[in-house]
Every structure is written in C-alpha cells, then in structure tokens.
Homo-oligomer: A and B are copies of this chain.
C-alpha cells in the first residue's frame, strides 16, 4: 500500500481565495416567466416602457369632480353637483367634465378629463341626480396620476437583483410576462470509491451507501445552483478521468468526492494535473485536509474527501462561497458574529485550522462534531467556526467568532426539530 505524503499544506483562507479568484458568475441568460422567477437573479435591468398607471384613475369609489369647483363648499353652505354619468374600472375615457358636474366613479376607473379629485360616497349627500359636497376637494385627492406608481422609464429591476415578490409584481404591472435571468450554475458531482453503493442498491460486504451526493445536492440547490449527480464510480483512474473531462466541459463547477487523499487508490491527485492546473492539494484544516482543486478550461474541479463530515464541512466554508458567486448571490452564505460557547470545550488540532460545526440555541453555540467519518457530526449545525492554528482550547462560556449560515441549511428558519441519532 503506497502513500505519497502531502506536500506543504495550504492555509484554508488561501485555498478559498484561490477558488474564488478562479470563479466568475455564470454568464448564460435565459428568459423566465415572471410567475416562476422568484429568487432568480435578473440578468439585465428592467425599465418601465410606459408609466403605471398609464392614465389618471380613481383610487377610491366616489364622485370625480373638478377640485376648483369645490373650493367654497362648506358644511353650512353645501355645494351642489350634477351627476352626469358612471365610470367603472374598465370604462373607456369619458367626456370632459363641465363646471359643477360630477361622475360616479369606481376604484380604478379612468378619471374623466378635467376631473382632478374624488370625494367618497360616505362624504356626500345624494339626492336624485345631484350630490352635495360640504368640504372642498384638494387637487389629487383619492386619485393616482399617470406614473404615480411607476414613472415611465423607471428602473424596476437592476441587473444582479434577486427577484422578489414586489419586484416581480412591478415587472408585471409594467406589462412584461417574463424577465431575463442568469441561468442557474450547473454543478456536476462525481463520487468515487469501490466501496460506494447508491442508496436503494444492494450492499456487498464491506460496501457502504454513498451519502455525499444527497447532501451536496441540497447545498447546491440552496445556493441557487442545479446539481447534476453521477452515480458512484469505482476506483478506476481512466473512468474517473473520462468522467471529469466530460463534466468540466458541460458544467460550471465539478465536485469530485472521495479519492482525494494520498493513498494508493486516491486517484484524483494524479488525474487533476493531467486535466488542468493544480491549485492546491492538502489544506491545513481539520476535518477536511485531503482536499484539492484544479482549474481546467476556465472552470474549477474541486476534489473533496469522501468522509461525510469532512466533505460537508468543506462544502460549507470552502465551496458554498464559490457556488454563491457562480449563482450571482451576494455574500459567502453566512454572516459573521460573536457567540459564546455553551458547553463541551473545543480542542483545536495543533498546527491546523479547525472547522467546528455549531448548533445555536438560546444565544449560545454548541459543537455538533463527533468524528469526521460521521454524517451526524453536522446534525442541526446552522453555523460554524474556523479556529486558527495555535488557538488554545475554547471552553464553555468563552467567546468565539462564528459564521452563521444564511439560509441556515442545518435547520428550518424557525428552528425545525432535528433529532439526535444517538451519541
């Protein structure tokens, strides 16, 4: 059993910087119907080609009048108006309003020319085809003028905006049925290892179920990407190389899991330099040291350890910011803040940065870690800390700098229950 020891390990933040420096947001653009565009990213700015509303309209049910005719209306000297018609929301433009004339008007109906205010039904007295006003109407009362909501030419959406309910409503109000969005980045995931069997298959002796695909697919989806998952490949360097070469041509990022260390059957460290330029192999971080990356044809291939916790920890602190940049999402996927360790001291590994998955409860942080081969080591973690090399043991009650995931990924927004699976 051969080993080719790691060379000099790269610092984790340097590794991340190298990946981000090689990452450009996806440039492909597609049209998306507005009713399906929530949480997509606008590829171009959208301007209103016409004002909204396009015409002066009533914003209440009532009587449209010329405000200047109402100036002398007073409770003790009501002013009479002749009701000359009715206007509903769909009505075509009416005749010009004459002096001391009023039109019954429904919310949303176009104001008759000449009218510049609406008095509501409750505030007038109606007698036959006449109404009496007891107060003046201020010009602009209970109407919307053209462009009041959206002026002609106003920018409704800027390129790079996340499309929100209100932004999509504004685009609809301006009459556009679809919007140009950036394509979701396609993230191809290729697990390798003779021992891996896809869930649902029959386990041979010594085999285990491949579990990183499902977790990675979820993280990719949360970051706005589209996962494309390969079934597990055997430890066959030619097959792995073929798969990686195809993947890097048709996707925006390739994630290979397993085979990333220095053992005899860890093929990625020999394959990646043949496909592209190796950026690093071996990161000074625990868990997750056996990680490597290469740049090939303007795209990245990242090789992640097969151990679920090592793999998923690296997915968060290392790969998530890359996913988000590809998908035009702002920020790395977390916000930094201070927290107090709630229980169970954390002993960093000397000489390494230490990634600690954290659950947050009642303003305190609790490590969820219990071994890098255990998928349950990240159960309920909605944050993590990266303790620098040389950091001393962090004890309960001490402060540490944490990265709070946003969206939380490890639990629901309001803290969906996550049951411990023992330990």
Contacts and interface: CB of A to CB of B under 8 A. Distances in A.
B54 A88 contact: no
A230 B389 CA distance: 59
Contacts of A52: 208-209, 375
A212 B170 CA distance: 9
B1 A376 contact: no
A13 interface: no
B89 A164 contact: no
So how many copies of this chain end up in the complex? 2
Given A199-B177, A421-B154, A169 B109 contact: no
Contacts of A147: 422
Contacts of A61: 1, 3, 261-263
Nearest to A93: B205
Q: Which of A5, A177, A204, A211 has the most CB of B within 10 A?
A: A211
Interface residues of A, number: 132
A321 to B, nearest CB: 12
Contact of A35 (B204, B217, B410, B418): B217
Given A38-B217, A158-B419, A199-B175, A409 B165 contact: yes
A198 interface: yes
A59 B371 contact: yes
A218 B410 contact: no
Given A149-B375, A307-B59, A375-B166, A108 B174 contact: no
A162 B373 CA distance: 24
